[in-house]
A and B are shown apart, each in its own frame.
Chain A
């Protein structure tokens, strides 16, 4: 497609995260591929290697580039990207033909730590550049499953009973924590609180398995959540898009082959056909009672607003179908592959999805610009005059 003025979009992916590879998939399918075919954007792919170094090369627009076995070594041979904060973001590709590129909008495609957890958003706020998706605060809270529960429960949103502890607390008084956990109804789920994509989540039915599951979770995180499982469970998820005006995708139900929707099912088993997120194991829209569906949508909007989400997020729910009770499970501020397969079912094409997210980023940026960040005072003139001392 062709149009006149193209915007430059930097898509940032990879990173120091257990979800590094998932992030590469999301960046390409659908983000980069859709931006390229839309014809209205120049795409600057920015890859953060597992060691945290930043690189950029046009070859990285193609996902095939990341399928090479010696990827990390090849990348390390390249020149590292330089960033310039100059009332906006500029990136410099160093080398013989050094190139400085002004970025109009950043499209973060970082799952997990140092990206989805708000770290990247903080950097981009400092750079004063519009960026897609949730801002720092929502990202940081949603990244911590325990914190999310605490915040939304304070607003009266139902969550399942849980216990949480840090690595230090577990090691210091394991037996006390086991006693506390015993008060929860089994089976239980043991989760590292900061990880997404169902990595290191274990379902446990007895104490031996519990201790092992906690060790696994602590291998990836220093904070662990143990929560009750829901009986007569229906798991559903709801992607939402928007800043003030919200647009809901279809309620989706993962149809589990194993005991729950794990990493492989999400990204590996169906990845070849569906481009990242498995929809062969999903039911869209979820065939649930209309009353429950309404409650899921209402709770979804409430959670989205409570956490201050913007751009896009996905809310996961657990439903006790017998008791007709809906619990909010967790919030994902960067749904894998943006859940584009789901958006398509409600009439949103990939191009419309990424374009709308860019518009929302710009809208939020413009709105934030209207806030005053300057407060004039004579406080400095008085400093050192004896009135202020520590």
Chain B
């Protein structure tokens, strides 16, 4: 409590507030929730640092002006009234100054957004107009998880026969996609878009911007449940893509229970077993990658990817079928599939100089992804470490989801489970105990300590899986 109050008078306080806004992607409710949880405002920038964008610099500058004004007002009141009452009033103003600043900066943001909104509206409309005259085949990918991997697989495979472009990084919002559209040259043959869902109606709005020809729904699960409250709301939002496309092609991941339940009869359901008449045979996965044979009647494709785990087969099959429909030859598809590899921090394999195998899945923070990865880990030989801070935004399902992770880890016989102390990992421990886990549970106070300790805990032949990573606003 004392640290909380004193740290609000630290010169870093204003910067911290602006960082918290920035890291919360300028979402006011997340910003206030973070402020309520914070014990020491000097230490909020742990995993990342403030990016000096013009918006951040403006907020810091005006924040300081506001701060000095409030303090000056406190001092001024004390001097001008010059009585016990005056001193008390002045002291009260100075005492509440840091709290007023929290709201002051939020109000400033509101002001900035009032100015920004019309500008954004113009940018989005220009992008929409540009894209409507673009001849490329437009593929939209929506879902609670697996969007980036799907986007990258499509981009890699289709690039073997077509000129393909896709927004980089996680540019999956109206503004991010609009900025990408502005960069297009016009000669692209295929455009792949990842649609981010944060609130109901988001996917519908993105559909109106892009007007996709093909939709892929990678799954529906508890990711962002804190915002959507129920899985039905999540499904309804993601399936806004299916509603928009109506008779056009929509591929739905049949391995995701909620996606499968919400799919329409005319949708193409894909799984690790195939899609429609395309059947998967002889599937194999290990640390070198995943291979399978895809057959349809007399047609046979031998495919091998560097992606790890059986759960990758479904997306690879979708990409294959779309590529075939787009006119790519069997050879081009085989080459394209062979070029697919783990995307940054998504079950990415790294081996250090000591021979320790690291599976970096730190961008995978959803229950389906975790299930798939634990299944893959269970198939590997060696001493296995599973390192996680748990998952975020699971809402009312937090306990259920984490207990289930614990049970799965115990079932898979993972030798070492490394947990980061927070509000959710105790449930993983309970799940491990539910299934009479025989391995070792190792606790760390924070992720950085765990990462620092891992090189001391491991030796050649060990496999370390890093599952999810909490950014500052969750840690």
Contact = CB atoms under 8 A, between A and B. Distances in A.
A279 B461 CA distance: 18
Interface in B318-360: 353-356
Contacts of A343: 459
Interface of A: 1-2, 30, 33-34, 37-39, 273-274, 279, 341, 343-352
A30 B444 CA distance: 19
A346 B462 CA distance: 11
B459 A349 contact: yes
A366 B461 CA distance: 34
A350 B461 contact: no
A147 B451 CA distance: 45
B88 interface: no
Contact of A344 (B355, B442, B449, B452): B355
Given A344-B355, A350-B456, 17 more contacts: A1-B443, A1-B444, A37-B449, A37-B452, A37-B453, A37-B456, A39-B442, A273-B353, A344-B354, A344-B459, A345-B355, A345-B459, A347-B459, A348-B459, A349-B457, A349-B462, A350-B455
Which of A344, A346, A350 lies at the interface centre, i.e. has the most chain B CB atoms within 10 A of its CB?
A344
A273 B453 CA distance: 16
B173 interface: no
B460 interface: yes
Interface residues of B, number: 18
Contacts of A1: 442-444, 453
Contacts of B443: 1-2
Interface of B: 353-356, 442-444, 449, 452-453, 455-462
Contacts, number: 48
7 contacts: A1-B442, A1-B444, A34-B456, A37-B457, A346-B459, A349-B456, A349-B458
Contacts of A346: 459-460
Contacts of B353: 273-274, 279, 341
A274 B458 CA distance: 15
Given A1-B444, A351-B457, A345 B452 contact: no
B107 to A, nearest CB: 43
Nearest to A345: B460
Which of B443, B457, B459 lies at the interface centre, i.e. has the most chain A CB atoms within 10 A of its CB?
B459
B459 A352 contact: yes
Contacts of B462: 349
A344 B457 contact: no
Which of B355, B452, B456, B460 lies at the interface centre, i.e. has the most chain A CB atoms within 10 A of its CB?
B456
A2 B458 CA distance: 17
A33 B460 contact: no
Contacts of A2: 443
Contact of A347 (B452, B457, B461): B461
A361 B63 CA distance: 60
Contacts of B442: 1, 39
Contacts of A352: 459
Contacts of B452: 37
B453 A344 contact: no
Contact of B354 (A33, A34, A341): A341
B350 to A, nearest CB: 16
Contacts of B459: 343-349, 352
A347 B456 contact: no
A351 B385 CA distance: 15
B435 to A, nearest CB: 22
Complex A-B, nearest 5 residue pairs according to Cβ-Cβ distance, in ascending order:
A37-B453, A350-B456, A344-B354, A349-B459, A344-B459
A121 B149 CA distance: 59
A220 to B, nearest CB: 33
B417 to A, nearest CB: 12
A1 B420 CA distance: 10
A33 B449 CA distance: 12
Contacts of B355: 344-345
A376 to B, nearest CB: 49
B131 to A, nearest CB: 48
